[in-house]
Structure 1
Amino acid sequence: MSTHADSHGARDADASIRLTDSDAAIARLSAVQKGYIHDPYITHFVPRAHLQHPRPPLINVGTFVRGTAIDDLVDQWLVTVGRLGRQCQIVSMGAGSDTRFWRVATGTHKDALATYVEIDFPEITTKKAMAIRKSKELNGVLGTSPSDIRVNHGGTAIHAPKYHLLPADLRLPPATTLGNLLATSDGAGGSAILSPSLPTLLLFECVLVYMEPSSSDDVLRWFVEYFSPQETPLGALVYEMFGLGDSFGKVMVNNLKSRNVSLPGAEPYPTLETLPRRFLNTGFNGARALTLREIRRSCISAEELERLSTLEMLDEVEELDLVLEHYAVTWGLLAPAPGVQVSWGGWGLGGRPLIYEENV
């Protein structure tokens, strides 16, 4: 009896976590509609997009700061790859309704991209695969002909020349989940989806915070072990909430608890200074973290902030600062060869490069 109850509770919790992707997609749609950001692809992933109500200015600003920071780090990665005359791979875990592949594949740095992988719960990838298949625009970016695009695993996976949508539960042992998905053939008799010899960037946007710290550490260590022997640069960036022990953080936690969402992954990171440990403890050489509040204050141009001020009236400036102070972008680099640190050392936000430390 208790086993059934436990499994039912786990399913309920997973459903609540999956709903956070819908929230993020609608928030991004709102920021697009209000002119904060440009994303021509998000409407394909929001059901009845034209009927969705805009989000409050506070959410729109937060979405803008988050997106701007992550876009900057990803663009820098692609620029560095291009400057070195190479191509790279991007692996987005817990990708949800993210549109980044389409934006990169049609953008200035598209030639620097060799492979883009998205991984999420099967329930999420099924919805995304259906949305992709229904859209001529999305399909047109994936391949030049229908034969370029294969739907696998009962409609939960898509394979295209540069794009792979894969179903997995990242909480399971990565040796089997990630190993089977990424380190083996793509199903067409070819080589592994993920090459250990190409520079690779990992994206975790509001993913690891929902996982037990031991599980998220296992995921990071799997990638470190996969790339270390090849002396290939491995980058990673994490966006999520942290520092939830103060009064405002406790309100955030309680609000999520009311929706059956818990944040076990936030517990080891009570302060900004602790966030880089996530990478340094799992084999990365360098790491850095900035709060969204600091990113808004010092990494976004005065001209852009002035433009935003004309879009909507923002009354809750103090509340905005409190919210942004509890979200951070952390980026880390595995640089196995001495020359890699030189080539990638400037990767960072607002002129703040990585800080290299001994593993702690």
Structure 2
Amino acid sequence: MDPPTPPLFRDPLASPSSKALDLDEPVRATDNDAALARLSAVRKGYLVDPFIIHFVPRAHLQPPRPPLINIGTYIRGTGLDELVESFIGLATGQGKKAQIVSLGAGSDTRFWRLHAGTSREHLACYIELDFPENTTRKAMAVRKSKVLSAALGRSEDIQIGDGGTSLHSSIYRLLPLDLRLPPSVSLAPKLAPILDPSSPLLILCECVLAYVASAASDAVLRWFADFSSSNDGVTGVIIYEMFGLEDSFGRVMKNNLKSRHVELPGAEPYNSLDSLRQRFFRLGFEEARALTLRDFRRTHISVTEQMRIARIEMLDEVEELELVLQHYAISWGIKLSAKQANAWLEWGIAEKSDEDWIP
């Protein structure tokens, strides 16, 4: 069976030019895949997310996704959640609030989930960047939903700008931005006035950089790292994406995506797990780690939780699941200024104890 076009994709950015607007549409549309996959996983009981329904039109009419999709979505979300919460915890331990910037955020609900939990008091700001078509859609959804807009403060303090493509509040901002442009043109004018270079900064890249040429994505990561580390701050980056696509599985995946007019220029240089780590070191980060979703499932999810997941749905395609998970990874890196504590170098995902390990 051909591997599915995984739902693990989310709102990436493709190549620029006025003509590319139409060519970008298939890539922008992957956000819909991710939103429907998350909705399905939530409804089946894999994840808790009361906010996703506000970003899926006619959510009550959407059919469930197959178990393989639901489990992949669960593993991805669980790993990313742990890394984000760990970063916020380290910032809090140093008496600081975390700043989070999500690239290609699409219909992601993370801000609302953090705001509804214990992390709300530990966030300095949360910024989402994406294509203007996607930010327009999200801004409309936020304004239409009392649940979503309530998290942003008083209604009179919420502003829609840039022709309806941006949304601004005291803690949350949604901005249209093309990451393929030089950071001096795209990032600096919009983010430099907002971000505090001395406060911990976390950058989220969920299935974004694989769709961007490596030179452009390197420039983006370098800009964020230099922005904080040159001002006594710290920058953490989390990247979730596919890798190692030179085998038969990868060739099928790329052909499936090409049939949808989607290319993966940013995935080509990364054919191994170690190459994902080396990207960070090449850009001057002090520490970097990488973990496949397959390994995360095996060694970072407790036996109790694995048993709960196994009871939700019958999964017949265990080998196919393992194959898919082996081609997706979460990698993360930390860039420190000279004044930052080495405690940041321990940022990561906690492993289970040996007695909990399931082969």
Q: Same fold (TM over 0.5)?
A: yes
* 1:108 alignment partner in structure 2: 118
Q: Does the 8 Å contact 2:234/2:340 carry over to 1?
A: no
Match of 1:225, SS? helix
Distance 2:244 2:332 in 1: 17
Q: Flag as ranges the 4+ runs of structure 1 deviating above 4 A.
A: 6-9
The 5-angstrom pairing of residues 160-239 of structure 1 reads 160-183=169-192, 192-239=193-240
Relative contact order: is structure 1 or structure 2 higher (C-alpha 8 Å, sep ≥ 6)?
2
Partner deviation per Cα, 1:242-278 (whole Å, 9 max, x = no partner): 0000001111111101000000001110011100122
* 1:3 alignment partner in structure 2: none
The amino acid across from 2:346 in the alignment is: G
The amino acid across from 1:345 in the alignment is: L
- The offset of 1:339, in angstroms, is 4.4
- The offset of 1:8, in angstroms, is 7.6
Q: Does the 8 Å contact 1:12/1:260 carry over to 2?
A: no
- The offset of 1:280, in angstroms, is 1.3
* 2:29 alignment partner in structure 1: 19
Q: Does the 8 Å contact 1:295/1:350 carry over to 2?
A: no
Partner deviation per Cα, 1:257-311 (whole Å, 9 max, x = no partner): 1000000001110011100122111121110000000000000111001000110
Distance 1:8 1:347 in 2: 41
* 2:165 alignment partner in structure 1: 156
The 5-angstrom pairing of residues 86-97 of structure 1 reads 86-97=96-107
Q: Does the 8 Å contact 2:334/2:345 carry over to 1?
A: no
The 5-angstrom pairing of residues 304-323 of structure 1 reads 304-323=305-324
Partner deviation per Cα, 1:196-225 (whole Å, 9 max, x = no partner): 111010000000000000000010111122
The number of residues matched between the two structures is 337
* 1:138 alignment partner in structure 2: 148
Match of 1:118, SS? strand
Structure 1 residues 90 and 8, CA, compared in 2 at 3 Å: closer, same or farther? closer
- The offset of 1:340, in angstroms, is 2.3
Distance 1:34 1:241 in 2: 25
Partner deviation per Cα, 1:30-65 (whole Å, 9 max, x = no partner): 000000000000000011100001100000000000
- The share of aligned pairs that are identical, in percent, is 56
Distance 2:18 2:111 in 1: 34
Distance 1:300 1:351 in 2: 8
* 2:346 alignment partner in structure 1: 346
* 1:79 alignment partner in structure 2: 89
Q: Does 1:256 align with 2:265?
A: no
The amino acid across from 1:102 in the alignment is: W
Distance 1:121 1:30 in 2: 25
Distance 1:66 1:321 in 2: 13
Structure 1 residues 7 and 153, CA, compared in 2 at 3 Å: closer, same or farther? closer
Unmatched tracts of structure 2, length 5 or more: 1-15, 353-359
Q: CA RMSD in A?
A: 1.4
- The offset of 1:110, in angstroms, is 1.3
User: What's the TM-score, normalizing by structure 2?
Assistant: 0.92
Q: Does 1:31 align with 2:41?
A: yes
* 1:69 alignment partner in structure 2: 79
* 2:61 alignment partner in structure 1: 51
Q: Does the 8 Å contact 1:117/1:166 carry over to 2?
A: yes
